[in-house]
Structure 1
């Protein structure tokens, strides 16, 4: 048996996709006799029957079905590799993949992405939400290029750049007893419903930096994925939340919300952009970090 070639997989994929040699020949820029010859050559070279005839149709054998599955997996990877190599040759790579570990940071990200795309017209931006809470692994495995996170893990091979500071505050509705308080203490949350994003409590600062050190737990925790719904619930007295002050200020015109300092000294946080050290010389990535960290992008 000869070596399996990319052209073999392409022929198998196109014949299966089009259902006839005539249509497949058009897709492959071949004449029908030339494709018929190529089909026979594929089977001869591989030493296995790939198709069987049923009337005028070619139907894949069991070996052919397996090869089709292989073609559907490998051919897109070949195309991706060729596209990437072309982009490298042109001094660009095409897509900046950003993973999010910060639910409320999308509003900030929009303010950065829009002018960035104007500066880099040949670079696309793809935001990966599925890496919200496993972003470090995605960064190491090259599934994303940048990680937006409030909790950097300094490991060899990674670099984190702070891009803006913010204060985490308690958010209460207009009728809540704490709405005019100078600050809240942990004990005041023991009877509250705490509304959070769907994140383990060990990754929530309201727990790790405020409640747990005091040995306090809320009466109930309710998880909500969307910021808008979370704040509607808070405004209607269905619970309290802990969010960045800048985000509460943005929504204050839409909902009756009041930010309250968490503890006498408050909770100061930063948002970081994480990257692989090996990517530091990629100009469009470096430019995004530099632009995101500039004073003009502060919230």
Structure 2
């Protein structure tokens, strides 16, 4: 599974397992990226909003892994929606890796850069997508997509005459306590691949987001014991076997290596069903910090 890839609607292939870098501090993320790539990872996920693109780029270069063997995803931050070219150029410069494999619109929210409590009155994500489509002609990005888009956002975007490129990816929060089957099915029907973030159910102790009891759930523990695997590994395998790419975040070398040990075993249909049957529901990422609501809890 660690070598599995998923084919996107533009013909390119995204690695199934990647390293997430959200909330990773600069000095920590550089070492984590270098270690992950030297131990088999070929997908690194970052974002302008994370403030660590420069260090991610340093880790990529320090790894010694050829650039063309690595898939790098980064994202346009909310206050840059009306400055797509500039936002992309900043990420490209900070990463300093020549090109970006996948560029995502981080949220369907065009925040006023002068006042984070306000949404730009004359701009929305459809206009942002119009500008993102133009990036493909410049030759510095391979694929474009979105993140945190719900069904209603995608319906509006795809129905607009200006939408000439269907997003290759929708990166969304996905784990057994937030499985979002309706959203997954909708994306599949439109040929949009889904990448799962917060795929382990959150970061314990995070000052700005939630963490749920997913890895202590009896069903997860039961499957993990039966497989001789960690709870994290069975939850990650569940994600990959659902057809989603996964980007677990860690700065611990042992955990980074452990999260990648997904070869030589699979979950049975019964085990997949048991994990999918987890009853606890929670979201890690909310929208209370944005000027508009973007999550509507209608994707289950």
Q: Which interval holds the TM-score relative to the shorter structure? A: under 0.3
Structure 2 length-normalised TM:
0.23
Structure 1 length-normalised TM:
0.23
Q: Which has the larger radius of gyration?
A: 1
**Quick check: which one's strand share is greater?**
1
